[in-house]
């Protein structure tokens, strides 16, 4: 019973490793084409392993940050805090998160327009930054 669970867990980890390895391979190929260098198989494997373990660290840190803010869900704030130490990365992540936020709001506006078109006219709902995916089907 316990042995079986351990086995399946190990399989899961191996699958994840393989997926990371594959993606790292693709990224390395891309970089190689851009800057005319070749990556040896061992270097790709080493990069993949590094990435995998880095992911472990990131996960633990993010969990700790979320718990620190008395949340159980990891959000963008936690990710920003994780990237705080390297200035360039922090800037990049902040910019990306702003882009995501604005695109989310855009989507919601589109949704509202659609639903407003279907329902009553002139029901200008105030713009809230709520989680996307909550459908307001209480109209009509």
Partner 1 sequence: AAKQKEDPSLPKAYVMSVFSHFAKTKVSRDVYPVLQEILDKYFERLVDDLEAYANHAKRKTIEKQDVELLLRRQGLVPDGVPVNVLIERYLPMEYRKLLIPVATSGNKVFPKHRR
- The stretch among 18-26, 36-44, 62-70, 121-129 that binds partner 1 (CB under 8 A) is 62-70
- What CA–CA distance (Å, rounded) separates 85 from 91? 11
- The stretch among 21-29, 75-83, 94-102, 122-130 that binds partner 1 (CB under 8 A) is 75-83
User: Alpha-carbon torsion 68, 69, 70, 71, what sign?
Assistant: negative
Q: Which of 25, 39, 49, 61 binds partner 1 (CB under 8 A)?
A: 61
Q: How many residues bind partner 1 (CB under 8 A)?
A: 11
Please check whether residue 46 is in contact with residue 20, taking contact to mean a CB–CB distance below 8 angstroms. no
- Minimum Å distance from CB 87 to partner 1? 12
Q: Which of 16, 46, 69, 125 binds partner 1 (CB under 8 A)?
A: 69
Q: Which of 60, 91, 109, 114 binds partner 1 (CB under 8 A)?
A: 60
Half-sphere exposure of 91 (CA within 13 A, CB side): 2
- What CA–CA distance (Å, rounded) separates 112 from 42? 52
Q: What is the CA radius of gyration of the chain?
A: 22
Question: Is 62 near partner 1 (CB under 8 A)?
Answer: no
- What CA–CA distance (Å, rounded) separates 99 from 121? 30
Instruction: Provide the binding-site residues for partner 1, judged by CB under 8 A.
Output: 60-61, 64-65, 68-70, 77-78, 81, 84
């Amino acid at each position: 019973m316990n042995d079986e669970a351990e086995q399946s867990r190990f399989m899961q980890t191996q699958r994840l490793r393989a997926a990371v390895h594959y993606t790292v391979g693709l990224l390395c190929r891309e970089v190689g084409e851009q800057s005319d260098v070749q990556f040896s198989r061992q270097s790709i494997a080493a990069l993949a392993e590094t990435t995998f373990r880095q992911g472990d660290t990131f996960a633990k840190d993010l969990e700790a940050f979320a718990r620190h803010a008395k949340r159980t869900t990891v959000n963008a704030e936690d990710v920003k805090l994780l990237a705080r130490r390297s200035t360039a990365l922090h800037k990049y992540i902040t910019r990306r998160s702003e882009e995501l936020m604005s695109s989310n709001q855009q989507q919601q506006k589109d949704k509202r327009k659609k639903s407003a078109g279907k329902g009553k006219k002139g029901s200008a709902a105030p713009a809230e930054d709520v989680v996307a995916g909550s459908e307001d089907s209480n109209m009509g």
